Amino acid sequence: YAPRSNPTTWTQVTGGFVSGKGPTALYAPAVGDILIAAQGGYVYHLTVPGRPVTVLEAGNLTTQTLNAIHGAGDTVVAVGASNAVLVSHNGGRTWATPTGPAAGKALNAVTVWDGQTIWVGADKLYYTDDGGMSWLEVPLGVTGLTAVTALAFARDLRAVGYAGVVTGSGTQVLRT
């Protein structure tokens, strides 16, 4: 982290992390409420930058590396290697593991609209509107698509979204 008053001075947060279960992505819905996806299926919580993190999920539900984390309201979703999906509907206090959208594939990106609507980037783009009970593929019309690696939607106008994709010939940013 770096203070806004001096963004050139960075301090590494090391306390509370389990060895070999380091951070891979974070979601910060509010000041003092930072959720961190990590290796080995771990999810951490950070309240104050510089203080040690606490473990919310200790790799009990999956041991896959988590690649992305996002949320809306009390719903938080982390996704990762080999179709791993972790969902919490109470801000990270408890977690469940619905079946992901792409068996055996790495899930690279996630955006949560609400407790039921979740978008996931993997080998393709997927979404669920029933909290992960079923998934639908969203055709992107991209020749040679190999991965969807990033997702972003406008908060106030969900019809505006972006996807970072990888193809056999390079990378692209798609807009809807």
**Number of alpha helices (DSSP H) and beta strands (DSSP E) in the chain:** 0, 14
Contact 76, 69 (CB under 8 A): yes
The pTM score is 0.95
Confidence class for position 155, pLDDT limits 50, 70, 90: confident
Residue from 93, 97, 56, 55 nearest 79 by CA = 97
Confidence class for position 29, pLDDT limits 50, 70, 90: very high
Q: What 3-state class would DSSP assign to 41? A: helix
Residues in the chain, total: 176
